Amino acid sequence: MTRKGYYGEISIGTPAQKFNVIFDTGSSDVWVVSNKCQSDICDSHRKFDHHQSNSYNSEKDEDDDEDTLSVDYGTGSVQGHLGKDKVSLADGQIVIQEQVIADAYTLSRDFIGSPFHGIFGLGLAGLSSSQHDPPFLSMIEQNLVEQPVFSIYSQHNAGEIDFGGIDKDRFEGEISYVDNIDSSYWMMAIDSMEFEDQSFQDRKAIIDSGSTLIIMNKNDASLYHQSIPGAMSNGDGTWSFPCKNVNTLGPLTIKSGDTTLTIPADKLFLTPMSATSKNCLSGISDQEMETENSWILGDVFLKNFYTVCDTMKEE
């Protein structure tokens, strides 16, 4: 699936060129649409012109040719030229020097009409397609954040990311930490997930702010929806079910170590399929996964919890 989720503004270059980007924990590269992209896919996007930035430097490979980036987001992909430039965010409170970025000259049609102009990857170094430091690692190395953490608060059509700290006004109680078990993704081990009469054991889950839904492999998603009366596959990886049946369902419970996370049933679906439809879009979808026991926890999960990604607590 292409990256979808909450986006915000960053600036690149000198003088600053502004772009709306997805802040995506499921990838580790920074790219924006290039002015060299002339296809209709790029027509509705702001475009970066590196020739207009006096702080831009091209990345060169050993043969003195421009280095390139190619990123595959499942059904979406981009290709671009790599360079280094100044990247500003948080209204200029954070300014990353010489961050490796790509200006994307080719985008797949999955990005046509999207309201954002690029992606700001917040994944770990092992996920970087450019083989360069992801931007949050650059922030840490350049001493731009007080702590090596960032925290995500998302609600319906709103949210914020705290770089370098934790906003205690955004949650109640204490934060429960689970181990990160991967060098590329923010990934946790799930001992069990319970929903109605279904029980799933020993899964791995990627925290992905760039995805809207909770994504399971096809078999798990099918078993999950068997517990919902009237649920049906929409044929594109998504599922729907009669909205009235939400009231008959119990919560989804996820257990990881000593931590138990509970999502009530009324948070596990999206709005009705259309203005006149009595069916709602399920918050759980399916797709082919690289490993069969892996899931992706997108915004349907994140909007229920204040989520802290702490580089000091990586395994």
Active-site annotation, residues: 24, 208
Distance, in Å, from the CA atom of 197 to the CA atom of 177, rounded to the nearest integer, reads 28
Nearest to 132 by CA among 96, 157, 105: 96
Distance, in Å, from the CA atom of 256 to the CA atom of 190, rounded to the nearest integer, reads 5
Residue pair 164/145 in contact by the 8 Å Cβ criterion = yes
Nearest to 296 by CA among 304, 306, 307, 288: 288
Residue pair 111/122 in contact by the 8 Å Cβ criterion = no
Residue pair 140/311 in contact by the 8 Å Cβ criterion = yes
Indicate the SS3 state at residue 29. Answer: coil
Distance, in Å, from the CA atom of 148 to the CA atom of 308, rounded to the nearest integer, reads 11
Structure tokens at 73: 């987001």
222 CB neighbour count, 10 Å cutoff: 14
